[in-house]
Structure 1
Amino acid sequence: MDTTVARARELHRRGRAAMIANRYLMAIRWLRQGLAMLDAPTADETELLEVRTRLLITLSFCVAETGSLDDGLEQLARAGQQVATVPDDELRSELSGIVHTNRGVLLCRVGRLEEGIDHLELGISFKERRLAEATGDRAALAESLVIALSNRGNAYGEIHRIDLATSDLNRSIDLATEHDLPIRAAIATHALGNVHQRGGDIPAALRSYKVADKAFQELEPGLLLRLRIDQAEAMISVGLADEAARHLDEVLPELRKQRIGQDIAEAELFRAAAALLDDDEATAKRMANSAQRKLIRRGSPAWAAVAALIALRVDVLRALEGRRPSARVVERALELAERLSSLKLRDQAAVAHVLAVRVEVRRGNTEQAAELLRDVPRARRTSPIDHRMLLRLCRAELALATGNRRVALAQAKAGLAELGRMRDQMGGLELVSGTALHGRELGELAVRLVLGDSSSAAGARRLFTWLERTRAQMYRYEPVESTVDVELAGRIAEVRQLSRALLRARLDGHPTSTLEVRYATSQRDAMRLGWSASPWGRARPVADLREVQAQLGERAMISFASSDDSMVAVVVAGGRVRLVRLGSTEAATEAALRLHADLNALAPDYLPAPLVEVISASARRQADKLDRQLLRPLAAMLGDRELVIVPTGALYVVPWGVLALCKSRPTTVVPSATAWLATARADVDSGHGVLLVSGPGLQAAEGEIDKLAGYHVDATALGGEDAKVVRVLAALDGVTLAHIAAHGEHEPENALFSRLELADGALFAHEVGRVRRPPRQVVLAACELALNRIRPGDEALGFAGAMLASGAHTVIAASSRVGDEPAAAAMGDYHRGLASGFSPAVALADAVAVDPLRRPFVCLGSG
């Protein structure tokens, strides 16, 4: 072999390896070096033509990724010219097949899918024949076929030919496995995840992504960037907009550094979609416009039209806020619908059409809106859930505008039921709670409608049922015993180690930026692993009001709700159901948040007396405001009954024992009546024994635990070096009561990584929520870890939320910060009450009443 050609072939090998790893700039450098070397004449013209053609083919993909489709096709045309001059028939056919395959890949990459599939099929036919005829080493031929099948499978998925896509990709995986091509098997598995996503099976998609993720981490980390984009798209589809945004914000800088043009544009497009779901209209518009410009430059009209649709959705939202939107918005929507339809993007075209209908409804043109709505095609089984919810919302709005409230409510009911069926497939608390985001507007419309007609007892009962349909759905699922996931446990242990390292670095005054990045990345990796394994059983039916009344007995339930700026309460007491309007939501929210801030400021143990007096006075003012607005109007209905409260929004941060009407009154806080009914009916004899845990850094903890042990004859105490994570988790399994006195911290960006500090590091909500047999009652004695994070649909997450969702019946926790000494004193009083035979709600009411402002504990669950 000519040494020059041999060196060029080696440069092609390096360039191709860099391309596979998405290191396109490096690949281009090596490939161009190889081409430059082949300008000189050589003895073996056939071999020179072959290597030059392969260099051009690989270069075509790289320049298409970093530049535009035209750049790639130009290089591919040069390769085609070289192929035509190859004298050897067999080699010429082989290279021609590769050219067809690459042309198909490039066309598919920019959304010209059917053209791309045609070219891929030409390449696949040749590769199938060559592989069948080969007698020697077949690995290279198999790899070439795997690449073509994977790309065709991905393209079939994009046009919703799911069976063909699945067949191609499963064959790719089998071939790659048979010929020991692990990276190709992982790439095909990644593509299979995309196909599952297109088919609407998000749990299956996440399982495929998990397999690909592990392989990429081990074999080729450069491929993780594209995987993160597709994972973000899946997160958006189940409502995890904030998590998707963090994923994309993490990968975009690296994509820009590597100049991966299509992936940058798609990442920006999905970042826009996440921002739109998160009500960040400015970011959504900016990112959508940026993506659209890039995609137009790249020659990707289909993707550019999808970006234009996101920008249009922002404009429509803004238009709907006005009194009479411009007719031009309708025209733009219909023009875009036609463009999307011509690009065979049926679901997206339907969305643009629906947006036009919504604007016409807002403009008062109901006849025109109805005519446009008739042209919207029915949603397919594979249509994205947010598209289906938007169509339901549009139908409901039109029905309402024409005076047909019954049809409007029927559309809302059908949409929420459809959303519930999707939720039933999810795994992991984050996924289950996130789906509520897609039904937010539909649920709000339904509640607003029912609220407008709820002055009667019958109306109040209807509102109660609708509130249960729209809130805290993650607590409807029966917990089942979870299995141990070794990989997930290992990743959480890594998060724990990084958490300790980060704390030490902060205490020592060392730089923490690198550790913070590693910590956040490790958290996200652990969260992704948790998504693909569901610990949930069947969904319980929405609570029947008559069953709730029977279970309440002499207690009263207050279910708060908000619509626009109107706060209301549905009161269930004494066999009657009434609705009471309670004034401004904004006023209640402001008072609740100010009270929360005051109680946080009051928490430290040794504040100067004058400061305590000032803060306490402020806290009492806010508590009085809440008491006057939310509870005093209900006093006659409540009498002296024990209370079960279903909060909404900011009311989750209220420690109800601080309010005058609740002082010394047993009060239980629940995410929904459905959740309360399930736990209240559960087996009261479950579990055995008492576990008392004291973490490090609490001055009163050791003495507190010794004191509490005196109230329980069957108590196991773990303190000091014995209070390590693994041992505490094992001890939690199956106990009746678990009391944990440990410093804790709520993680606002990732609620399931809220934590308790034990002897060897953090114990996370994520792992406590997966205890096989959770304790019947959990007391979180020294930290602010109640239902801290409230998602749309009043989906309450956090440490306490994880415990309740996984099967704990009662959780005692603080809704704001609490000092070590008042926490220890409150817990002493609380356990004395339990030992005297009182229920958790009664025992806590007595304990908190001693000093409500310094003991902001709430009883969550069954009470």
Structure 2
Amino acid sequence: MESPRPRRPFDTTDDPATLVARDPAAARAHAEEVLASAPDPGARAHALCTIGICQHEEGDPAAAHRTLRLAAAAADTVGPEATARARQARLAIRALRGGPGLSGPALDRHADAAAALLRCGVADAQRGHFPRAVDALDAALERVGPSTPGRLPPALLANRGLALVYLDRIDEAADALAHALDLADSRHLGYLRSAVLQNLGCLEARRGDTSEALRLFDEASTGSTRSRRIALQIDGADALLAAGLPDEARRRLESFGGPGAAGPLLGEAAALLVDAKHRLARGDRNAALAQARRVRARFAPDSLWAHLAGTVEWSARCLAASEPSAGARRRTAARCAVYAPTGAAGAVRPTRDQAAAAALVDAGRHAAALRRLAADLPGHAEAAGHTRPRERAIAAEGVRRALAEGRAEDVLAWLEYGRSGRGAAACRDHMWAGLLERLRDAYRRAEEGDDTALGEIGHWSARLAAAQLHRCRSAPPRGTHVLEELRDRLGGRALVSYAVVDGDCVAVVVSGGRVDVHVLAPAARVAEECATFAFDVRMSVLRGEEEGEGAALSARRLGGMLLGPLAEAVGDRPVVVCPAPVTQELPWGRLPPLRGREVCVAPSARSWLDADAVAGAAEEVDGPAVVAYGPQVPGAAAEAGLVREVLRGAGMEARLLAGPEATVAELRGSLPGARVAHLIGHGGMAPETPMLAALLFEDGPLFAYDAEMLSAAPRLAVLSACWLGMSTPAPSGAPLGMGTALLSRGAGTVVASAVPVRDREVMGPMGRFYRAVTTGTPPARAVADHLAEHGFLCLGAG
């Protein structure tokens, strides 16, 4: 018969909070084992206190409150120190829930003054009194001595760091949190370490480094309780909202069931506030107000949670106001409130640079305001287009102000802000590259008839979109006021930058040394005509017909809207077009005012200047040409052979990739060193996922995301495929798609079609295009002469 296992005495050398800071699950299991063994009153009080703190960490504050009352009663027979320990823990939980009961002087009478001050500091932070919280935590740190429990210094530093984050004392916060993390690691406080990582994530979110914030939140989830994992998901959703990614934020909130599933009062309040901000970001003002009022009703009027709920209500009212504000600051502050961190303190307060920029806009000092808003962007164009929502709000106000003041130069400078630029380095994130390969494999299997792969495509697409917020940085901005460079480099061209401002389509024209701004037509009318014209052109191609009367009529109407008022300023010059979001799908060369004219389409003036510099240096590049075609394209082999023959006739080495050699991996290795690339394949472009625009090759699709991983792009890239000249606007207004991805990696010129391509009919025009280019004709001229009627665009410079 097996002998009974000896009872293990409960270790009371560490206080209950330290045991929980190591491992809540192990601490609770041990405490419950002790209670089952009929311990002495001291061990019983210690075990009950441990269980109560665990219950709080597990998201059951009501049960924690009851258990800690029992712990205090059991401790009464042991001594005042044990009683005080249980009572302090219970009162701290009440304070975290927004209730009364925590008094600094009362707690400071007990032996452990540092622990009492920690709880006072946490309570002050919960009420939004962050300066007082920092003072209490600093005083606590001064009282740390040899007898202080080992978990207390890192806990003090962790809470001090978070309070400093919301006081915008970022460098001090980073030092405090780094020190807290070192202490938690060295003292093997695994659970407390996850809390420090969560606070570090909040710091990075405040800095605007969303990718690092999400990484820290995910790391903190390992070994955490369900309650903390939900809190981390809420913080992650808040960071995504601040990055201007409301759909990703919604998915993160829904991953644990949404606000109603958040559990205890604090978790549910945070989830409701983030959900309210998400609804407000999506324009659902009434639902946002209802959520914010639910939070405010549950907390004392002086609590941080009630104040934060009030700011969401205020923001909803400001953004819904029909009359324009007296200045930029009120409207901008309202937009910033939507994205302010849930734990932010005091009044709605943008960063110092944002506040200064708003004030400068209000004073009409546009150039100075733009300088205050200059910032780095993620390297991925899609991520960059979703970031900096507060700055975009200020920029939108700057455009409105400059337009109202008739300051065309400042309108152009504001339009340049946030539009995509060139990356400094190719993406080298292996995890993200792995997701891309999984998505490619799912597409390949779906093409082969694997029905299960269809479901995987959506999954991996969503994962890929969210994961591009990693640390892949672009070059520092080179300045948004590009007017002097344009005047030097445009020569006889005219640049037309379109935008939507307060519901109207406007155009800034730079030509002949002048800068003018024109209000064209209501944006809704322009969008309707763009859709009609694009549809008519596509249908005529798909039906194999010449342009019908309907298409000709819509072309005349749209050309009159977009170019009629600019006729005098533009004249008969070659044109550089920077499209507005509502005009990014147009085959511009099919509009009557632009037929036969050299037209370059670029995301922005800065992008055109960069591409023009590349195109101008093309003669210095000695790399070969790459000609590749994918499977099942009628006439692809003949077209590839013709293009290769023309290029070889011009003295250029031309490598042909066909059949098993025409793979994505081979292309990603060959394209960076190529001077010219001619890619033939079935093309696809879905407006809702523009960076999944792709050409199909032997091992699957070559995505626009793949282009962002190139170390360099060919100086001239021609995409002989359907749709890939189209783009879709990001929230910033910057166009996203295959063409813009190649431009961002250093291409000077990308030739691609915005409409379906008749495969067998394009070979002759392509041959004539290459004969013209190889004999010195600029690409834009060659496109106008030979390819524009087939829907092709000259993207970049030409």
Same fold (TM over 0.5): yes
* Paired position in structure 1 for 2:654: 715
Q: CA deviation at 1:310?
A: 1.8
2:486 pairs with one of 548, 565, 574: 548
Q: CA deviation at 1:157?
A: 2.7
Q: CA deviation at 1:625?
A: 1.0
Counterparts of 1:193-232 in structure 2, within 5 Å, are 193-198=201-206, 201-203=207-209, 206-207=211-212, 209-213=214-218, 216=221, 225-232=230-237
1:857 pairs with one of 782, 792, 796: 792
In structure 2, the CA distance between the partners of 1:294 and 1:465, relative to structure 1 (3 Å rule), is closer
Check whether the contact 2:377–2:474 (CA below 8 A) recurs between aligned residues.
no
* Paired position in structure 2 for 1:599: 537
For 1:623 and 1:246, the matched residues in 2 are separated by 40
For 2:213 and 2:288, the matched residues in 1 are separated by 28
Paired residue type of 1:320:
S
Paired residue type of 1:213:
D
After TM superposition, the structure 1 stretch with the greater mean CA deviation from structure 2, 180-189 or 465-474, is 180-189
Q: CA deviation at 1:692?
A: 1.8
For 1:46 and 1:281, the matched residues in 2 are separated by 57
Check whether the contact 2:45–2:71 (CA below 8 A) recurs between aligned residues.
no
In structure 2, the CA distance between the partners of 1:317 and 1:164, relative to structure 1 (3 Å rule), is closer
Aligned: 1:237 with 2:242? yes
Paired residue type of 1:434:
H
Counterparts of 1:729-740 in structure 2, within 5 Å, are 729-740=668-679
SS in 2 for 1:780: strand
* Paired position in structure 1 for 2:46: 50
* Paired position in structure 1 for 2:269: 265
For 1:760 and 1:220, the matched residues in 2 are separated by 43
Counterparts of 1:579-658 in structure 2, within 5 Å, are 582-604=520-542, 607=543, 612=545, 616-635=548-567, 638-658=570-590
For 2:679 and 2:554, the matched residues in 1 are separated by 30
Name stretches of at least 5 consecutive residues in structure 2 with no aligned partner. Answer: 12-16, 99-121
* Paired position in structure 2 for 1:154: 162
SS in 2 for 1:752: strand
Q: CA deviation at 1:680?
A: 1.8
* Paired position in structure 2 for 1:417: 371
For 1:83 and 1:521, the matched residues in 2 are separated by 53
* Paired position in structure 2 for 1:438: 390
For 1:844 and 1:577, the matched residues in 2 are separated by 27
* Paired position in structure 2 for 1:290: 291
For 1:667 and 1:582, the matched residues in 2 are separated by 20
After TM superposition, the structure 1 stretch with the greater mean CA deviation from structure 2, 661-670 or 293-302, is 293-302
1:756 pairs with one of 695, 712, 718: 695
SS in 2 for 1:346: coil
For 1:97 and 1:299, the matched residues in 2 are separated by 21
SS in 2 for 1:699: coil
1:844 pairs with one of 780, 783, 786: 783
1:374-402 CA-to-partner distances (Å, cap 9, x unmatched) read xxxxx763x8x4x6666666xx3xxxxxx
* Paired position in structure 1 for 2:183: 175
Aligned: 1:806 with 2:745? yes
* Paired position in structure 1 for 2:757: 818
Paired residue type of 1:263:
G
* Paired position in structure 1 for 2:102: none
In structure 2, the CA distance between the partners of 1:680 and 1:185, relative to structure 1 (3 Å rule), is same
Q: CA deviation at 1:586?
A: 3.0
* Paired position in structure 1 for 2:414: 469
For 1:56 and 1:859, the matched residues in 2 are separated by 68
Check whether the contact 1:252–1:264 (CA below 8 A) recurs between aligned residues.
no
In structure 2, the CA distance between the partners of 1:39 and 1:438, relative to structure 1 (3 Å rule), is closer
Q: CA deviation at 1:859?
A: 0.9
Q: CA deviation at 1:672?
A: 2.3
Counterparts of 1:303-342 in structure 2, within 5 Å, are 303-321=305-323
In structure 2, the CA distance between the partners of 1:844 and 1:346, relative to structure 1 (3 Å rule), is same
For 2:135 and 2:203, the matched residues in 1 are separated by 19
Q: CA deviation at 1:668?
A: 0.6
1:323-348 CA-to-partner distances (Å, cap 9, x unmatched) read 99xxxxx9xx99xx9xx9xx994332
Check whether the contact 1:46–1:88 (CA below 8 A) recurs between aligned residues.
no
* Paired position in structure 2 for 1:830: 769
In structure 2, the CA distance between the partners of 1:73 and 1:426, relative to structure 1 (3 Å rule), is farther
SS in 2 for 1:190: helix
Q: CA deviation at 1:562?
A: 4.2
Q: CA deviation at 1:20?
A: 9.9
Check whether the contact 1:464–1:559 (CA below 8 A) recurs between aligned residues.
no
Paired residue type of 1:290:
Q
Check whether the contact 1:471–1:794 (CA below 8 A) recurs between aligned residues.
no
Counterparts of 1:473-484 in structure 2, within 5 Å, are 473-476=418-421, 479-482=423-426, 484=428
Q: CA deviation at 1:254?
A: 5.9
For 2:539 and 2:19, the matched residues in 1 are separated by 58
2:624 pairs with one of 689, 692, 695: 689
For 2:188 and 2:441, the matched residues in 1 are separated by 36
Aligned: 1:112 with 2:56? no
In structure 2, the CA distance between the partners of 1:56 and 1:320, relative to structure 1 (3 Å rule), is same
Paired residue type of 1:814:
S
For 2:30 and 2:190, the matched residues in 1 are separated by 29
Q: CA deviation at 1:578?
A: 4.9
* Paired position in structure 2 for 1:665: 597
Q: CA deviation at 1:516?
A: 5.1
Q: Tell me how large the CA RMSD over aligned residues is.
A: 4.6
Check whether the contact 1:494–1:522 (CA below 8 A) recurs between aligned residues.
no
Q: CA deviation at 1:840?
A: 1.3
For 2:298 and 2:705, the matched residues in 1 are separated by 44
Q: CA deviation at 1:655?
A: 0.8
Check whether the contact 1:225–1:255 (CA below 8 A) recurs between aligned residues.
no
Name stretches of at least 5 consecutive residues in structure 1 with no aligned partner. Answer: 10-14, 132-140, 325-329, 351-378, 397-406, 455-461
For 1:77 and 1:302, the matched residues in 2 are separated by 27
For 1:2 and 1:231, the matched residues in 2 are separated by 49
Paired residue type of 1:429:
A
SS in 2 for 1:710: helix
For 2:246 and 2:764, the matched residues in 1 are separated by 39
Aligned residue pairs, count: 748
Paired residue type of 1:418:
R
Paired residue type of 2:625:
V
For 2:145 and 2:274, the matched residues in 1 are separated by 37
* Paired position in structure 2 for 1:486: 430
TM-score by length of 1: 0.74
Check whether the contact 2:627–2:679 (CA below 8 A) recurs between aligned residues.
yes
Higher helix share goes to which structure? 1
SS in 2 for 1:591: helix
In structure 2, the CA distance between the partners of 1:496 and 1:99, relative to structure 1 (3 Å rule), is farther
Q: CA deviation at 1:731?
A: 0.9
Q: CA deviation at 1:246?
A: 4.2
In structure 2, the CA distance between the partners of 1:487 and 1:453, relative to structure 1 (3 Å rule), is closer
In structure 2, the CA distance between the partners of 1:452 and 1:79, relative to structure 1 (3 Å rule), is same
In structure 2, the CA distance between the partners of 1:572 and 1:511, relative to structure 1 (3 Å rule), is closer
Aligned: 1:346 with 2:346? yes
* Paired position in structure 2 for 1:371: none
1:431-475 CA-to-partner distances (Å, cap 9, x unmatched) read 543356434554445444544565xxxxxxx41442233235444
TM-score by length of 2: 0.80
Q: CA deviation at 1:618?
A: 2.9
Q: CA deviation at 1:716?
A: 1.7
